[in-house]
Amino acid sequence: MSMYRERVHRGSATATVLRTVGTRERRSHLTAPRVPTVGIDIGGTKVMAGVVDADGNILEKLRTETPDKSKSPKVVEDTIVELVLDLSDRHDVHAVGIGAAGWVDADRNRVLFAPHLSWRNEPLRDRLAGRLAVPVMVDNDANTAAWAEWRFGAGRGEDHLVMITLGTGIGGAILEDGQVKRGKFGVAGEFGHMQVVPGGHRCPCGNRGCWEQYSSGNALVREARELAAAESPVAYGIMDRVGGNVKEITGPLITELARSGDAMCVELLQDIGQWLGVGIANLAAALDPSCFVIGGGVSAADDLLIGPARDAFRRHLTGRGYRPEARIVKAQLGPEAGMVGAADLARLVARRFRRANRRRVERYERYARAGRG
């Protein structure tokens, strides 16, 4: 059994539970201990864990499927603990950061709601800290991805940044002066549920016309499948590719065909991109950032998506022609952004663990000297 595993089993009862003070983030990341930490990115289909150094480099990465959502929250927590213990066998882990696909409360302890997991008001930080005996930081996965892009990726040097994550739906995060803006209750950045079309498509959130129903991976696939099911002539190319099976039409396939010149797939990405630009223009009116970073799986379409988004943004921007325009750029860190950001945010809480560890060592040395005397 490794030294770390012994520490976990013997020290869980006295594990230090840390509360990161958000107002200290900007200055703390510059002075945080340059130690390896583990970042965990939890989604509806996968759990990714990695050891990340102080410069954002991934030293080792593990990935596993998310346990079935019908199982108890403890099953997912067991998976996280197993991944951390596995990594800790080969690395000296000083803290663990969790990026969860759900709403995290302002104290960054409880996952209030996770649509793809059975977490409802789940005290995730305290449960994991008690089992791992190292500090644990919990945040929304879009917040951790935005932090990573600000620290190491496309948002470096920006004082006011908004990140948009385009996946199954739309997530997002706001950074101002090096601080994640989480809102009073911790759930800021749910941009995908701004209503942009009154009475429009029904959204799983319960409302109609949400932004993510027009600019997301789900929207892209829905439109392609509807054209294919209607046997539209423009869909012959993609139907030939999937052998007539509409259910096999996926976002990555649409992007692949668009890159090869399929006219329908190019048009669908343009439509998604135009809706993206409309939403970004609305966010610019409300938040006035200097930069929008576009991440998530759909962003793999690059300029097939972001080009139309920039055009629509300029057309719909309030006061266009009389104000500076925010940059719109693609995220640089890819699917590892949430994991890297969670690990880096965890470094902000690693300091107290190091101090507590040092005090334990000093106390042990004093006792040892007294015993020899």
**Mean pLDDT score, 271-285:** 96
Task: Let me know whether 305 and 167 are in one domain.
Answer: yes
In the predicted structure, residue 277 carries a pLDDT above the cut 60: yes
Question: Is residue 315 in some structural domain?
Answer: yes
CATH number for the domain spanning 122: value is 3.30.420.40
Task: Let me know whether 239 and 291 are in one domain.
Answer: yes
Q: Give just the sign of the alpha carbon dihedral 365, 366, 368, 372.
A: positive
Total domains in the chain come to: 2
Task: Let me know whether 180 and 250 are in one domain.
Answer: yes
In the predicted structure, residue 167 carries a pLDDT above the cut 90: no
CA 309 to CA 173: how far, in whole Å? 18
In the predicted structure, residue 181 carries a pLDDT above the cut 90: yes
Task: Let me know whether 126 and 63 are in one domain.
Answer: yes
**Mean pLDDT score, 190-195:** 92
CA 154 to CA 335: how far, in whole Å? 14
Task: List the helix and strand counts (H, then E) for the chain.
Answer: 11, 13
**Predicted local distance difference test score (pLDDT) of residue 69:** 55
Residue 101: domain span:
37-146+336-350
Considering only CA atoms, which of 185, 194, 229 is closest in space to residue 212? 194
**Predicted local distance difference test score (pLDDT) of residue 309:** 96
Question: Is residue 25 in some structural domain?
Answer: no
Confidence of residue 241 (pLDDT cuts 50, 70, 90): very high
Task: Let me know whether 44 and 138 are in one domain.
Answer: yes
In the predicted structure, residue 331 carries a pLDDT above the cut 90: yes
Considering only CA atoms, which of 106, 97, 101 is closest in space to residue 132? 97
Task: Let me know whether 183 and 268 are in one domain.
Answer: yes
Question: Is residue 269 in some structural domain?
Answer: yes
Confidence of residue 282 (pLDDT cuts 50, 70, 90): very high
**Predicted local distance difference test score (pLDDT) of residue 142:** 93
Question: Is residue 369 in some structural domain?
Answer: no
* Cβ-contact 56, 37 below 8 angstroms: no
Question: Is residue 127 in some structural domain?
Answer: yes
Question: Is residue 28 in some structural domain?
Answer: no
Task: Let me know whether 320 and 202 are in one domain.
Answer: yes
**Predicted local distance difference test score (pLDDT) of residue 35:** 86
Q: Which two tokens stand for residue 56?
A: 């954002």
Residue-averaged pLDDT of the chain? 85
